[in-house]
Structure 1
Amino acid sequence: MTTYQRRVLIVAILASFISFLDGTVINVALPAIERELGGGLAGQQWVVDAYLITLTAVILLAGSLSDAYGRRRVIFWGLIGFGGASVLCAIAPTDEFLIVSRGIQGIAGALLVPSSLAIIISNFDGPKRARAIGQWTAWTSTAFLAGPLLGGVLVDFASWRLVFAINVIPIALTLWLLRGIHVEPPKPVKPQIDYRGAVLGVFGVGLPVFALIEQQRLGWGNPVVWGAMVIGVLAFAGFIWNERHVKQPMLPLSLFAVRNFWVGNLATVFIYAGLSLGNFLLTIFLQQVAGYSATEAGLASLPSTIISISLSTLFGTLAGKYGSRWFMAAGPVIGAVGWVLLSQVTPEANYLTQVVPGTVVFSLGLVMTVAPLTAAVLGAIDPERAGIASAVNNAVSRVAGLVATAAAALIVGDALTTGGFSRGAITTAILLVAGGVVSAIGIQNAKRPAKV
């Protein structure tokens, strides 16, 4: 890795880390925010959901902008927007002001996520690319460990407002490092924004995400929920029609003619649905049934984070050397074994004998999967389209997770019990195995990026 490539990788890691950190750090600050600004439970939910909805809704447009105008430029404006929104969150005088500011943060975060991976794809090739993706995965995973711990310290010993204000420090560092990244040369043909596709895409992704989130609070019978879902589905259908007929589409549908891209995204649906369902149920079970404190439940994810940090680079390197196929096939199956072990947990959920073994096995399977999956999906596409390709994969993983979480009640019932958790853990294992089977059958090694 050259000095320049190392700088690119650090920028990519920091840009993603900032976005991921803010998605995890907020949860521990919610009680303190509610005590000062009010808003009740609905207000706390919207402080979280406003960020998630806008990030997911805008991410396809952000990936398209990254391909059209360059990764460096999009990352720059994403950092500026995220920093400004963070300051607004830190000084928020009311709950409503904070919710709007969080929505702005989500839009800026959408600019950071696909561009950070796209800038790696643009500057690395072959085995070095897979290794770099492994390092990106390893270091960005620290956000999931650092978020709750950092947030807890700031809330307990200072103020919840510092949870947002502290973003200014890594943003300033990333902006300084970004100065050393080459500006991409202008394209020979001036990019044209697919405005109709952009609007349809935002509503077609954003409204179903809104419905999936709000149904947990309002129920599917609420007209706001089912109305948003219906309008969103129609908008998404219009988006697909538009992309088929417009001259310069925001999302070229020819991407899905590339085998590893569509197979990798199909595997992503099963794998990330399983991850989201299992982790959601485990966190609730440990607190509501086993009687863990919030901190103790959070520490249950510690093995996963440590294993990811330790081994993601290794498996990224191995995938670059031997191909992603068998890592994507074996990893989810090993992860499924971990969830089968967790399905045997008793109401007491002894941490060392019942939680740790399943969590460690699952985490090993997960770390075998994530970096090779990312390398296979993005490595199949020409680097010029890496922004939109990354955005698609990110959107697929988020929507799959939301659908699985929304369906949790159908699996476990109205109230989570030990039996309900066991059914959820087995369902998680089945979803992971499905992802492994899809990968084993469909993923091909050593494919050159396709021009689309």
Structure 2
Amino acid sequence: MSTDSARTSTGAAPAAPTPGKLSPEVRRIAVVVVTGAVASLLDSTIVNIALNDLTHELHTGLDTVQWVVTAYMLALASVIPVTGWAARRVGARRLYLASIVLFTVASVACGFAQTSGQLIALRALQGIGGGLTLPVGQMILARKAGPQNMARVMSIVGIPMVLTPVVGPTIGGLLLDGPGWRWIFFVNVPIGLIAVLLGLRLLPREPAENAGPLDVTGLVAISLGMIGLTYGLAELGNQGKFTTAVVVALAAGLALTAAFVLHALRIKQPRRPLLDLHLYRDKAFAAACVATFALGGALYGGMILMPLYYQAVRHEDAVTTGLLLGPSGFGAAAAMWLAGRTAERIGGGLTAIIGGAVNIVSTLPFVLIGPHTSYVALCLALVVRGFGIGMSMMPAMTAAYRVLGRNKINDATPQLSILQRVGGSMGTAIIVVVLQNSLADSDGTPAGLSDSFGAAFGWVLVVTLVALLATAVLAAIERPVFAAQRAQKRQAAAEQATTGKA
């Protein structure tokens, strides 16, 4: 059997639904997953805009309050690697509901925190719940939908992944200007309660699988490695230079991650590694991972620049800045609707190439940004850039799932989630360092400041080009697999039509 035919048979859904349509069960699961994802992903960005207020309200310095963000990121990074094993061990439905409950309870506690120490500790607890929510939800949805409908499913899952980095600062600014900082945590409560109630009613009950013993050595190595890398990158972004703490954290993170890779590749059956790194032997999955990593860097690296530009160069307040960022959400929303349908017709890899090309074109105006660039022009560019991100991020993941098949979802999902988040952290850190160095060399005039932002966007453009090259490789590998699955779909539809007539 050839490689392509093996992939096709592995990825075939056991019962093909109506081509191009999602079953009612899959639609119900999608509602639950999106609701839970909105809460956890929104909190990744909504708090950033409140740091200045928190320093005054909690009577502490910015260096301490920064840990409110960092603690969440560290906890989130440390827990993602264990999601595949935990989902098999206790059942994906049970784990998903538990993660939402933990996140919601921690959100309430964060809202009542009285000191910075309390808030930082509770944010770490919140990060554990948030880190489990999206990967486990993706596992449930992807397994039920199967590769035949993966394009539309992933476009639905992508809605909160693309929109929340955009709307988070807007909502945060409105809450700070209104009821106060505690409501940036209380706002999660109704969303979490709705997600739990919907999950209890709509998520399918699945028996726990034989997960085998937990790979404790691998868990310690990769979790500490992710913490080291995440902390080092966060501090690099905060400090704008390679301090001793940054170098030690990054070196320890890389060493521990390398140790995990060696450990995972040496494990022999019947033992099972925490993450199956043999998936990278599949060139399509490897290309999808590179694309996901680079797109995460381009998305989050670019999104951190525009709020700073509006505030530092154009002297806008937090609420106005948040509203000016909103247009990219419209573009992303349109892309989410179109991406799934386009990926069904031409494949996820080719769809991601189109999105990547749009990303490059829409980033060019920001490279040329000036101190008096029209707000209308910037908003239009943000709409197009949001569209490009939406057309590339989820289709790349769709192609990865399609070539791997249903039985690899539990192993693939945590790795794609890790790469997206590390890519976002690395992209943010590098872009901030470039910006700070450029600002230090500028003359401090509005023109000089805007030139510094243009230089930083030049690096965003480079990262976007890397993502485009990776999606080109992905499209070339996916093409024969996609063609075979399309042929299967047509044959299944013809057989259903023949059976109906008979």
TM-score (norm. length: structure 1)? 0.92
- AA aligned to 1:365 is G
Aligned mates of 1:154, 1:270 — CA distance in 2: 32
Matched-pair contact (CA < 8 Å) for 1:128–1:317: no
Range moving further from structure 2, 125-134 or 168-177 = 125-134
In the TM superposition, what whole-angstrom CA distance separates every residue of 1:12-71 from its partner, at most 9, and x where no partner exists?
A: 101111101111221333333332212221122111111112112221122432244332
Give the Cα separation in 2 of the matches to 1:281 and 1:165: 28
Counterpart check, 1:150 vs 2:171: yes
Please give the per-residue CA displacement for 1:246-291, whole angstroms capped at 9, x wherever unaligned.
2210111111112221110112232222223322223222221233
Residue by residue, what CA displacement relative to the aligned partner does 1:290-326 show, whole Å, maximum 9, x if unpaired?
3333333323321211122233122112202321121
Structure 2 residue 244 is the aligned partner of structure 1 residue 223:
yes
Q: Which amino acid aligns with 1:124?
A: A
2:77 counterpart of 1:56: yes
Q: 1:424 aligns with which of 452, 456, 466?
A: 456
Structure 1 contact 138–311 (Cα < 8 Å) conserved: no
Q: What secondary structure is seen at the aligned counterpart in 2 of 1:38?
A: coil
Any idea what SS the aligned residue of 1:248 has?
coil
Partner of 1:341: 365
1:91 correspondence with 2:129: no
Paired amino acid for 1:317? R
1:434 has 2:456 as partner:
no
2:380 to 334, 352, 357: 357
Which of 295, 305, 324 aligns to 1:271? It is 295
Q: Distance in 1 between matches of 2:49 and 2:349?
A: 38
Q: Is the 8 A contact 1:342 1:359 kept in 2?
A: no
Q: 1:222 to 1:30 in 2, by over 3 A?
A: closer
- For 1:145 and 1:285, how far apart are their aligned partners in 2? 15
Task: Name the aligned partner's letter for residue 374 of structure 2.
Answer: N
Unaligned runs of 5+ in 1: none
Which residue of structure 1 lines up, in the alignment, with residue 234 of structure 2? Answer: 213
Question: What aligned pairs does 1:356-435 form with structure 2 within 5 A after superposition?
Answer: 356-408=379-431, 411-412=434-435, 414-416=437-439, 417-435=449-467
8 Å CA contact 2:367–2:455 kept in 1: the answer is yes
2:297–2:423 CA contact under 8 A, matched in 1: yes
Q: 2:208 aligns with which of 176, 182, 186?
A: 186
Q: Is the 8 A contact 1:67 1:384 kept in 2?
A: no
- Aligned position for 2:493: none
Asked if structure 2 preserves the Cα contact closer than 8 Å seen for 1:117 and 1:387, the reply is no
1:41 aligns with 2:62: yes
Instruction: Quote the offset at 1:221 in angstroms.
Output: 5.3
Relative to structure 1, is the Cα distance of residues 252 and 412 closer, same or farther in structure 2, using a 3 angstrom cutoff?
Answer: same
1:66 counterpart = 2:87: yes
Q: CA deviation at 1:239?
A: 0.8
- The answer to whether structure 1 residue 129 and structure 2 residue 150 are counterparts is yes
Distance, in Å, in 1 between the alignment partners of 2:155 and 2:120 is 34
Distance 1:63 1:303, change over 3 A: farther
- Per-residue deviation, 1:106: 0.8
Measure, in 1, the Cα distance between the counterparts of 2:387 and 2:164.
Answer: 18
SS where residue 407 of structure 1 aligns?
A: helix
Superposed displacement of residue 168, structure 1 = 2.2
Distance 1:332 1:44 in 2: 36
1:397-441: per-residue Cα shift (whole Å, max 9, x none)? 221222223223664452432222222223322321221122113
Rounded to whole Å, the distance in 2 between the matches of 1:371 and 1:392 is 15
CA distance in 1, matches of 2:357, 2:76: 30
Query: SS state of the match for residue 298, structure 1?
Result: helix
Looking at structure 1, the residues matched to 251 and 394 of structure 2 have their Cα atoms a distance apart, in angstroms, of 35
Bigger shift: 385-394 or 257-266?
385-394
Contact 1:15/1:174 (CA < 8 Å) preserved in 2? yes
Alpha-carbon separation, structure 1, partners of 2:241 and 2:460: 24
Aligned partner letter, 1:368? M
| Higher radius of gyration, 1 or 2 | 2
Residue type at the aligned position of 1:18? A
Classify the secondary structure of the residue corresponding to 1:250.
coil
> 1:372 is matched by which residue type in structure 2?
P
Kept in 1: contact 2:78–2:227 (CA 8 A): yes
> 1:80-111 CA deviation, whole Å, 9 max, x = no partner?
21122112211112111000100111111111
Identity of aligned residues (%): 25
Letter in 1 for 2:349: R
Moved more, 388-397 or 9-18: 388-397
User: Pairwise CA RMSD of aligned residues?
Assistant: 2.3
Using the TM superposition, name which of 53-62 and 211-220 deviates more.
211-220
Distance 1:278 1:144 in 2: 11
The answer to whether the aligner puts 1:201 opposite 2:233 as a matched pair is: no
Gap runs ≥5 in structure 2? 1-21, 440-448, 485-502
- Residue 278 of structure 1 aligns with an amino acid whose one-letter code is G
- TM-score scaled by length of structure 2: 0.83
